Structure 1
Amino acid sequence: MTVRTPFIAAALLLAGGTAFAQLPPPPPGAPLPPGAAAAAPEAGTVVTGRVQRFLLNPGGEADGLLLADGTQVAFPPHLSADAMQLLRPGDTVQVGGWRAPGVPVLRMRSLEANGRSLADTPPAPGMAPPRPPREPGALDALSAQGRIDRLLYTDRGDVNGVLLADQTIVRFPPHVGAMYRDQLRPGAELHARGWGTRGAQGTALEATGLGPTADTVAEVLRGPRPGPGMGPGPRPAPRGPAS
Protein backbone atom coordinates (compact mmCIF):
# COMPACT_ATOMS: atom_id res chain seq x y z
CA MET A 1 0.00 0.00 0.00
CA THR A 2 1.29 3.42 -0.89
CA VAL A 3 1.05 5.97 1.90
CA ARG A 4 0.88 9.64 0.94
CA THR A 5 3.06 11.59 3.32
CA PRO A 6 5.60 14.42 2.93
CA PHE A 7 8.99 13.27 1.70
CA ILE A 8 10.53 12.51 5.05
CA ALA A 9 14.14 12.57 3.95
CA ALA A 10 13.93 16.26 3.11
CA ALA A 11 13.04 17.49 6.58
CA LEU A 12 13.72 14.82 9.19
CA LEU A 13 15.41 15.74 12.46
CA LEU A 14 17.55 13.55 14.69
CA ALA A 15 15.64 12.10 17.61
CA GLY A 16 17.51 13.23 20.70
CA GLY A 17 18.90 10.56 22.97
CA THR A 18 18.03 7.51 20.88
CA ALA A 19 20.48 4.68 20.38
CA PHE A 20 20.25 1.03 19.48
CA ALA A 21 21.94 -1.93 21.05
CA GLN A 22 25.56 -2.68 20.31
CA LEU A 23 25.98 -4.74 17.16
CA PRO A 24 28.56 -7.53 16.76
CA PRO A 25 32.24 -6.54 16.38
CA PRO A 26 33.20 -5.57 12.82
CA PRO A 27 35.31 -7.62 10.46
CA PRO A 28 38.56 -6.06 9.23
CA GLY A 29 38.49 -3.17 6.79
CA ALA A 30 35.12 -1.64 7.59
CA PRO A 31 34.54 2.13 7.75
CA LEU A 32 36.86 4.95 6.82
CA PRO A 33 38.69 6.76 9.62
CA PRO A 34 37.31 10.15 10.69
CA GLY A 35 38.65 12.95 8.52
CA ALA A 36 39.56 10.65 5.63
CA ALA A 37 37.94 13.04 3.17
CA ALA A 38 39.52 16.19 4.60
CA ALA A 39 42.12 16.48 1.84
CA ALA A 40 41.39 18.26 -1.42
CA PRO A 41 39.56 16.12 -4.01
CA GLU A 42 41.53 14.61 -6.87
CA ALA A 43 40.19 16.05 -10.11
CA GLY A 44 40.55 14.32 -13.46
CA THR A 45 40.24 10.80 -12.04
CA VAL A 46 39.23 8.09 -14.52
CA VAL A 47 38.00 4.66 -13.40
CA THR A 48 37.14 1.66 -15.56
CA GLY A 49 35.17 -1.25 -14.15
CA ARG A 50 32.23 -3.60 -14.42
CA VAL A 51 28.85 -2.40 -13.17
CA GLN A 52 27.60 -4.56 -10.31
CA ARG A 53 24.36 -2.69 -9.63
CA PHE A 54 22.63 0.67 -9.56
CA LEU A 55 22.52 2.52 -6.25
CA LEU A 56 19.03 3.86 -5.58
CA ASN A 57 17.61 6.64 -3.45
CA PRO A 58 14.39 6.08 -1.44
CA GLY A 59 12.35 7.55 -4.30
CA GLY A 60 13.49 4.70 -6.57
CA GLU A 61 15.81 6.83 -8.72
CA ALA A 62 19.38 5.78 -9.46
CA ASP A 63 21.90 8.22 -8.03
CA GLY A 64 24.97 6.06 -8.41
CA LEU A 65 26.63 2.81 -9.44
CA LEU A 66 28.48 0.12 -7.55
CA LEU A 67 31.38 -1.33 -9.52
CA ALA A 68 32.71 -4.86 -9.07
CA ASP A 69 35.88 -3.61 -7.34
CA GLY A 70 33.83 -1.79 -4.69
CA THR A 71 34.08 1.69 -6.20
CA GLN A 72 30.92 3.73 -5.79
CA VAL A 73 30.07 6.18 -8.57
CA ALA A 74 27.82 9.10 -7.62
CA PHE A 75 25.71 11.19 -9.98
CA PRO A 76 22.60 13.38 -9.53
CA PRO A 77 19.23 11.59 -9.69
CA HIS A 78 18.08 13.64 -12.69
CA LEU A 79 20.43 11.41 -14.72
CA SER A 80 18.68 8.25 -13.48
CA ALA A 81 16.62 7.54 -16.61
CA ASP A 82 19.51 8.20 -19.00
CA ALA A 83 21.91 6.06 -16.98
CA MET A 84 19.47 3.15 -16.86
CA GLN A 85 18.98 3.32 -20.62
CA LEU A 86 22.72 3.40 -21.23
CA LEU A 87 23.86 0.75 -18.75
CA ARG A 88 23.00 -2.66 -17.39
CA PRO A 89 24.64 -4.60 -14.56
CA GLY A 90 27.57 -6.50 -16.04
CA ASP A 91 28.49 -3.76 -18.52
CA THR A 92 31.97 -2.27 -18.51
CA VAL A 93 31.97 1.46 -17.91
CA GLN A 94 34.62 4.19 -17.95
CA VAL A 95 33.87 7.05 -15.57
CA GLY A 96 35.61 10.40 -15.34
CA GLY A 97 35.20 12.72 -12.39
CA TRP A 98 36.75 13.61 -9.05
CA ARG A 99 37.19 11.88 -5.73
CA ALA A 100 38.42 12.74 -2.25
CA PRO A 101 41.55 10.81 -1.17
CA GLY A 102 40.75 7.68 0.82
CA VAL A 103 37.06 7.70 -0.16
CA PRO A 104 35.70 4.87 -2.37
CA VAL A 105 33.33 7.27 -4.18
CA LEU A 106 33.93 8.86 -7.56
CA ARG A 107 31.74 11.87 -8.35
CA MET A 108 30.85 11.44 -12.02
CA ARG A 109 31.31 14.15 -14.59
CA SER A 110 31.05 11.84 -17.59
CA LEU A 111 30.83 8.14 -18.35
CA GLU A 112 31.13 5.93 -21.41
CA ALA A 113 29.65 2.50 -21.99
CA ASN A 114 28.42 0.46 -24.93
CA GLY A 115 29.75 3.03 -27.39
CA ARG A 116 27.72 5.87 -25.88
CA SER A 117 28.41 8.57 -23.34
CA LEU A 118 26.62 10.52 -20.62
CA ALA A 119 27.70 13.81 -19.06
CA ASP A 120 26.57 15.63 -15.94
CA THR A 121 25.54 18.93 -17.46
CA PRO A 122 22.73 21.14 -16.12
CA PRO A 123 19.61 21.35 -18.29
CA ALA A 124 19.09 24.46 -20.39
CA PRO A 125 16.90 27.13 -18.78
CA GLY A 126 13.24 26.39 -19.36
CA MET A 127 13.93 22.90 -20.66
CA ALA A 128 11.29 20.37 -19.58
CA PRO A 129 12.42 17.17 -17.84
CA PRO A 130 12.57 14.07 -20.07
CA ARG A 131 9.76 12.50 -18.03
CA PRO A 132 7.45 13.71 -15.24
CA PRO A 133 9.24 13.53 -11.88
CA ARG A 134 8.06 11.01 -9.32
CA GLU A 135 5.51 12.45 -6.90
CA PRO A 136 7.60 13.00 -3.75
CA GLY A 137 4.81 11.95 -1.40
CA ALA A 138 4.33 8.53 -2.99
CA LEU A 139 6.41 6.38 -0.65
CA ASP A 140 5.64 3.02 0.93
CA ALA A 141 6.10 2.05 4.58
CA LEU A 142 8.86 -0.57 4.42
CA SER A 143 11.06 -2.62 6.68
CA ALA A 144 14.18 -4.62 5.95
CA GLN A 145 16.49 -6.90 7.89
CA GLY A 146 19.75 -8.61 7.07
CA ARG A 147 23.51 -8.58 7.25
CA ILE A 148 25.28 -5.37 6.26
CA ASP A 149 27.23 -6.13 3.10
CA ARG A 150 28.89 -2.72 2.68
CA LEU A 151 28.66 0.89 3.71
CA LEU A 152 27.54 3.60 1.30
CA TYR A 153 29.17 7.03 1.30
CA THR A 154 28.66 10.55 0.08
CA ASP A 155 31.33 11.95 -2.22
CA ARG A 156 32.81 13.64 0.87
CA GLY A 157 33.31 10.33 2.62
CA ASP A 158 30.37 10.51 5.05
CA VAL A 159 28.44 7.28 5.64
CA ASN A 160 24.88 7.82 4.41
CA GLY A 161 23.60 4.29 3.97
CA VAL A 162 24.23 0.57 3.83
CA LEU A 163 23.71 -2.20 1.30
CA LEU A 164 22.32 -5.34 2.91
CA ALA A 165 23.21 -8.87 1.81
CA ASP A 166 19.85 -9.18 0.02
CA GLN A 167 20.75 -6.00 -1.93
CA THR A 168 18.25 -3.77 -0.10
CA ILE A 169 19.57 -0.20 0.24
CA VAL A 170 19.00 1.56 3.56
CA ARG A 171 19.66 5.30 3.51
CA PHE A 172 19.95 7.84 6.33
CA PRO A 173 21.43 11.33 6.74
CA PRO A 174 25.20 11.56 7.33
CA HIS A 175 24.72 12.73 10.94
CA VAL A 176 23.00 9.41 11.72
CA GLY A 177 25.85 7.53 10.06
CA ALA A 178 28.35 9.49 12.17
CA MET A 179 26.46 8.87 15.41
CA TYR A 180 26.26 5.11 14.81
CA ARG A 181 29.56 4.59 13.02
CA ASP A 182 30.66 2.01 15.62
CA GLN A 183 27.54 -0.09 15.06
CA LEU A 184 27.18 0.23 11.28
CA ARG A 185 29.78 -2.31 10.24
CA PRO A 186 29.97 -4.86 7.41
CA GLY A 187 28.91 -8.23 8.77
CA ALA A 188 26.62 -6.80 11.47
CA GLU A 189 22.90 -7.57 11.51
CA LEU A 190 20.59 -4.61 10.94
CA HIS A 191 16.85 -4.08 11.00
CA ALA A 192 15.50 -0.87 9.47
CA ARG A 193 12.05 0.67 9.27
CA GLY A 194 11.15 3.66 7.18
CA TRP A 195 9.76 4.86 3.86
CA GLY A 196 10.82 4.05 0.35
CA THR A 197 10.12 2.15 -2.85
CA ARG A 198 10.37 -1.30 -4.41
CA GLY A 199 10.92 -1.71 -8.13
CA ALA A 200 12.64 -3.63 -10.89
CA GLN A 201 16.05 -2.26 -9.87
CA GLY A 202 15.62 -3.12 -6.19
CA THR A 203 14.41 -1.81 -2.86
CA ALA A 204 15.56 1.38 -1.14
CA LEU A 205 14.26 3.09 1.97
CA GLU A 206 14.99 6.08 4.18
CA ALA A 207 15.33 4.71 7.71
CA THR A 208 13.41 6.27 10.59
CA GLY A 209 14.31 3.42 12.94
CA LEU A 210 17.37 1.18 13.22
CA GLY A 211 18.42 -1.76 15.38
CA PRO A 212 20.09 -5.16 15.18
CA THR A 213 16.67 -6.91 15.35
CA ALA A 214 13.02 -5.96 14.94
CA ASP A 215 12.57 -6.02 18.72
CA THR A 216 15.43 -3.58 19.36
CA VAL A 217 14.67 -0.94 16.74
CA ALA A 218 15.15 2.59 18.08
CA GLU A 219 13.83 5.70 16.43
CA VAL A 220 16.68 7.68 14.87
CA LEU A 221 14.63 10.25 12.98
CA ARG A 222 11.41 12.09 13.71
CA GLY A 223 9.08 14.31 11.74
CA PRO A 224 9.68 18.01 11.06
CA ARG A 225 8.95 20.52 13.79
CA PRO A 226 5.79 22.54 13.06
CA GLY A 227 7.24 25.73 14.55
CA PRO A 228 9.44 27.22 17.29
CA GLY A 229 8.58 25.94 20.74
CA MET A 230 5.93 23.54 19.49
CA GLY A 231 7.91 20.35 19.84
CA PRO A 232 8.22 17.58 17.29
CA GLY A 233 5.45 17.39 14.77
CA PRO A 234 3.31 14.29 14.23
CA ARG A 235 4.64 11.63 11.93
CA PRO A 236 2.18 9.22 10.33
CA ALA A 237 2.78 5.72 11.68
CA PRO A 238 3.63 3.13 9.02
CA ARG A 239 0.57 0.98 8.52
CA GLY A 240 1.55 -2.61 7.96
CA PRO A 241 5.15 -2.19 6.75
CA ALA A 242 6.15 -4.74 4.17
CA SER A 243 8.86 -7.09 5.34
Structure 2
Amino acid sequence: MHWIDPNCLPEANGTVERFVLNPHGEVDGFVMTGAMQSPVLVHTPPHMEPELTRHVKAGDAVSVRGVRPRKPDLIAAVAVTAANGASIIDAGPGHEREHPKLEKKKMTAEGTVRLSLFGPKGELRGALLTDGTVIRIAPKEAEQLAGLLAPNAKIAVTGDGLDTKHGRVVHAKQIGTCSRDLRPIKEAKPKPKHETEPKHDRPAHA
Protein backbone atom coordinates (compact mmCIF):
# COMPACT_ATOMS: atom_id res chain seq x y z
CA MET A 1 0.00 0.00 0.00
CA HIS A 2 1.25 3.50 -0.82
CA TRP A 3 2.54 5.30 2.25
CA ILE A 4 0.47 8.40 1.39
CA ASP A 5 -3.23 8.41 2.28
CA PRO A 6 -4.89 9.41 -1.04
CA ASN A 7 -7.78 11.07 0.79
CA CYS A 8 -5.45 13.78 2.07
CA LEU A 9 -4.29 14.68 -1.46
CA PRO A 10 -5.89 17.24 -3.79
CA GLU A 11 -8.30 15.87 -6.39
CA ALA A 12 -8.20 16.63 -10.12
CA ASN A 13 -10.98 15.71 -12.52
CA GLY A 14 -10.94 15.23 -16.25
CA THR A 15 -11.35 12.87 -19.19
CA VAL A 16 -8.90 10.17 -20.23
CA GLU A 17 -7.72 10.98 -23.73
CA ARG A 18 -5.22 8.16 -24.18
CA PHE A 19 -2.96 5.82 -22.23
CA VAL A 20 0.82 6.26 -22.19
CA LEU A 21 3.30 3.35 -22.38
CA ASN A 22 6.73 2.67 -20.90
CA PRO A 23 9.52 1.00 -22.96
CA HIS A 24 8.24 -2.47 -21.95
CA GLY A 25 4.80 -1.78 -23.43
CA GLU A 26 3.15 -1.37 -20.02
CA VAL A 27 0.65 1.40 -19.28
CA ASP A 28 2.33 3.86 -16.93
CA GLY A 29 -0.06 6.77 -17.15
CA PHE A 30 -2.53 8.65 -19.29
CA VAL A 31 -3.22 12.07 -20.77
CA MET A 32 -6.12 13.80 -19.04
CA THR A 33 -8.10 16.66 -20.56
CA GLY A 34 -11.10 18.64 -19.39
CA ALA A 35 -11.29 21.45 -16.88
CA MET A 36 -7.55 22.16 -17.21
CA GLN A 37 -6.36 24.79 -19.69
CA SER A 38 -4.04 22.24 -21.29
CA PRO A 39 -3.73 18.43 -21.24
CA VAL A 40 -2.11 17.01 -18.10
CA LEU A 41 0.08 13.93 -17.90
CA VAL A 42 -0.99 11.57 -15.12
CA HIS A 43 1.69 9.07 -14.12
CA THR A 44 0.55 5.70 -12.77
CA PRO A 45 3.00 2.93 -11.81
CA PRO A 46 2.91 -0.05 -14.21
CA HIS A 47 1.63 -2.40 -11.52
CA MET A 48 -1.65 -0.45 -11.56
CA GLU A 49 -2.24 -1.35 -15.22
CA PRO A 50 -4.50 -4.43 -14.77
CA GLU A 51 -6.99 -2.63 -12.53
CA LEU A 52 -6.69 0.69 -14.35
CA THR A 53 -7.37 -0.71 -17.82
CA ARG A 54 -10.13 -2.97 -16.46
CA HIS A 55 -12.15 -0.02 -15.19
CA VAL A 56 -10.98 2.89 -17.35
CA LYS A 57 -10.89 3.45 -21.10
CA ALA A 58 -10.25 6.42 -23.39
CA GLY A 59 -13.13 8.88 -23.20
CA ASP A 60 -14.00 8.08 -19.57
CA ALA A 61 -14.31 10.71 -16.88
CA VAL A 62 -11.98 10.09 -13.92
CA SER A 63 -10.83 11.75 -10.74
CA VAL A 64 -7.21 11.57 -9.67
CA ARG A 65 -5.56 12.06 -6.29
CA GLY A 66 -1.81 12.46 -6.40
CA VAL A 67 1.23 14.63 -5.87
CA ARG A 68 2.64 17.25 -8.21
CA PRO A 69 6.41 17.62 -8.74
CA ARG A 70 7.70 21.19 -8.64
CA LYS A 71 8.44 21.80 -12.32
CA PRO A 72 6.52 19.71 -14.91
CA ASP A 73 2.78 19.76 -15.48
CA LEU A 74 2.33 16.28 -14.05
CA ILE A 75 0.29 14.41 -11.47
CA ALA A 76 1.92 11.33 -9.92
CA ALA A 77 -1.26 9.42 -9.09
CA VAL A 78 -1.77 7.57 -5.83
CA ALA A 79 -5.42 6.78 -6.59
CA VAL A 80 -7.72 6.98 -9.62
CA THR A 81 -11.51 6.80 -9.37
CA ALA A 82 -13.23 5.50 -12.49
CA ALA A 83 -16.59 6.61 -13.87
CA ASN A 84 -18.15 3.38 -12.56
CA GLY A 85 -17.02 4.26 -9.03
CA ALA A 86 -14.14 1.79 -8.89
CA SER A 87 -11.17 3.09 -6.91
CA ILE A 88 -7.77 2.04 -8.25
CA ILE A 89 -5.17 2.61 -5.53
CA ASP A 90 -1.39 2.21 -5.71
CA ALA A 91 -0.95 -0.88 -3.53
CA GLY A 92 2.67 -1.51 -4.54
CA PRO A 93 4.13 -3.83 -7.18
CA GLY A 94 4.23 -7.05 -5.18
CA HIS A 95 7.29 -9.28 -4.96
CA GLU A 96 6.71 -11.51 -7.99
CA ARG A 97 5.88 -8.91 -10.61
CA GLU A 98 7.88 -9.04 -13.85
CA HIS A 99 7.82 -7.02 -17.05
CA PRO A 100 5.75 -8.57 -19.85
CA LYS A 101 7.76 -10.60 -22.34
CA LEU A 102 6.75 -8.90 -25.58
CA GLU A 103 8.75 -9.23 -28.80
CA LYS A 104 10.22 -5.89 -29.77
CA LYS A 105 11.07 -4.92 -33.33
CA LYS A 106 13.02 -2.16 -35.02
CA MET A 107 10.79 0.87 -35.36
CA THR A 108 10.99 4.45 -36.53
CA ALA A 109 8.93 7.50 -35.68
CA GLU A 110 8.90 11.07 -36.92
CA GLY A 111 6.66 14.02 -36.17
CA THR A 112 5.90 16.85 -33.78
CA VAL A 113 6.06 16.61 -29.99
CA ARG A 114 2.72 17.19 -28.31
CA LEU A 115 3.74 16.62 -24.68
CA SER A 116 6.95 15.93 -22.83
CA LEU A 117 6.76 12.74 -20.75
CA PHE A 118 8.01 12.54 -17.18
CA GLY A 119 8.58 10.03 -14.42
CA PRO A 120 6.83 10.30 -11.04
CA LYS A 121 9.48 12.64 -9.60
CA GLY A 122 9.37 14.95 -12.60
CA GLU A 123 12.34 13.47 -14.45
CA LEU A 124 12.16 13.84 -18.25
CA ARG A 125 11.66 10.44 -19.89
CA GLY A 126 10.55 11.06 -23.45
CA ALA A 127 7.76 12.58 -25.52
CA LEU A 128 4.29 11.96 -26.88
CA LEU A 129 3.93 12.82 -30.57
CA THR A 130 0.83 14.35 -32.13
CA ASP A 131 0.09 11.02 -33.86
CA GLY A 132 -0.02 9.24 -30.47
CA THR A 133 3.40 7.56 -30.69
CA VAL A 134 5.29 7.43 -27.39
CA ILE A 135 9.05 8.04 -27.53
CA ARG A 136 11.03 6.80 -24.53
CA ILE A 137 14.58 7.73 -23.53
CA ALA A 138 16.44 7.05 -20.28
CA PRO A 139 16.28 10.04 -17.87
CA LYS A 140 19.98 11.00 -17.97
CA GLU A 141 20.06 10.96 -21.76
CA ALA A 142 16.66 12.64 -22.02
CA GLU A 143 17.89 15.56 -19.93
CA GLN A 144 20.62 16.20 -22.49
CA LEU A 145 18.06 16.09 -25.32
CA ALA A 146 15.41 18.25 -23.65
CA GLY A 147 15.11 20.59 -26.64
CA LEU A 148 14.04 17.75 -28.95
CA LEU A 149 11.52 16.48 -26.38
CA ALA A 150 9.80 19.82 -25.78
CA PRO A 151 6.26 20.53 -27.05
CA ASN A 152 6.11 21.56 -30.73
CA ALA A 153 9.66 20.32 -31.42
CA LYS A 154 10.29 18.34 -34.60
CA ILE A 155 11.72 14.91 -33.82
CA ALA A 156 12.68 11.66 -35.54
CA VAL A 157 13.91 8.47 -33.87
CA THR A 158 14.81 4.85 -34.56
CA GLY A 159 14.96 2.15 -31.93
CA ASP A 160 13.26 -0.89 -30.47
CA GLY A 161 9.49 -0.67 -30.37
CA LEU A 162 6.16 -2.29 -29.70
CA ASP A 163 2.63 -2.02 -31.06
CA THR A 164 0.08 -2.77 -28.34
CA LYS A 165 -3.68 -2.46 -27.96
CA HIS A 166 -3.02 0.70 -25.95
CA GLY A 167 -0.69 2.35 -28.47
CA ARG A 168 2.75 2.44 -29.99
CA VAL A 169 6.02 2.99 -28.14
CA VAL A 170 9.60 3.36 -29.41
CA HIS A 171 12.61 3.10 -27.10
CA ALA A 172 14.89 5.46 -29.03
CA LYS A 173 18.47 4.56 -29.93
CA GLN A 174 19.00 7.31 -32.53
CA ILE A 175 17.47 10.77 -32.59
CA GLY A 176 17.38 13.94 -34.65
CA THR A 177 15.10 16.63 -36.02
CA CYS A 178 14.27 14.53 -39.09
CA SER A 179 15.05 11.10 -40.53
CA ARG A 180 18.05 12.51 -42.43
CA ASP A 181 19.56 13.95 -39.26
CA LEU A 182 19.76 10.94 -36.94
CA ARG A 183 22.60 10.46 -34.48
CA PRO A 184 23.18 7.81 -31.80
CA ILE A 185 21.95 8.57 -28.30
CA LYS A 186 25.05 8.28 -26.17
CA GLU A 187 24.71 6.85 -22.71
CA ALA A 188 25.33 9.57 -20.15
CA LYS A 189 28.53 9.05 -18.18
CA PRO A 190 28.29 9.33 -14.40
CA LYS A 191 29.91 12.41 -12.95
CA PRO A 192 33.26 11.94 -11.19
CA LYS A 193 32.84 11.40 -7.48
CA HIS A 194 34.50 14.69 -6.56
CA GLU A 195 31.88 16.56 -8.66
CA THR A 196 28.93 14.96 -6.90
CA GLU A 197 30.20 15.39 -3.33
CA PRO A 198 29.15 18.56 -1.50
CA LYS A 199 31.86 21.16 -1.15
CA HIS A 200 32.78 22.33 2.33
CA ASP A 201 34.70 25.40 3.22
CA ARG A 202 38.12 24.52 4.48
CA PRO A 203 39.23 26.17 7.70
CA ALA A 204 41.87 28.83 7.21
CA HIS A 205 45.33 27.97 8.50
CA ALA A 206 47.06 30.34 10.88
Same fold (TM over 0.5): yes
Any idea what the Cα deviations from partners look like across 1:170-201, whole Å, max 9, x if unmatched? 01012222212233332222111111210221
Report the equivalent of 1:197. Answer: 162
**1:80 maps to what in 2?**
49
RMSD: 2.0
Asked if structure 1 preserves the Cα contact closer than 8 Å seen for 2:106 and 2:159, the reply is: yes
CA–CA distance in structure 2, aligned partners of residues 184 and 118 of structure 1 = 30
1:164 aligns with 2:129: yes
Q: What CA distance in whole angstroms lies between the structure 2 residues aligned with 1:212 and 1:102?
A: 25
Name the CA distance, whole Å, in 2 between partners of 1:104 and 1:44.
17
Equivalent-residue separation in structure 2 for 1:123 and 1:213 (angstroms): 38
Kindly provide the CA deviation profile for residues 101-135 of structure 1, in whole angstroms up to 9, marking residues without a partner as x. Answer: 3431111111111211111012666xx66xx8511
Picking from 69, 76, 87, the partner of 1:100 is: 69
> Percent identity, aligned pairs only?
26
**Where does the alignment leave 5 or more consecutive residues of structure 2 unmatched?**
1-7, 188-206
Larger RCO (CA under 8 A, 6+ residues apart):
1
Please, which of 174, 178, 200 is the counterpart of residue 213 of structure 1? 178
| Aligned with 1:135 (options 101, 107, 110) | 101
Structure 2-normalised TM-score?
A: 0.77
**TM-score using structure 1 length:** 0.66
Partners of 2:105 and 2:160 within 8 A in 1: yes
Number of aligned residue pairs: give it: 175
Are 2:47 and 2:92, in contact at CA under 8 Å, matched by a contact in 1? no
Q: Match of 1:160, as an amino acid?
A: R
More helix by share: 2
Change (3 A) 1:133 1:167: same
1:99, distance to aligned residue in structure 2 (A): 1.4
Amino acid at match of 2:68: R
Q: How far apart are residue 203 of structure 1 and its match?
A: 0.3
Any idea what SS the aligned residue of 2:142 has? helix
Q: Which of the two has higher C-alpha Rg? A: 2
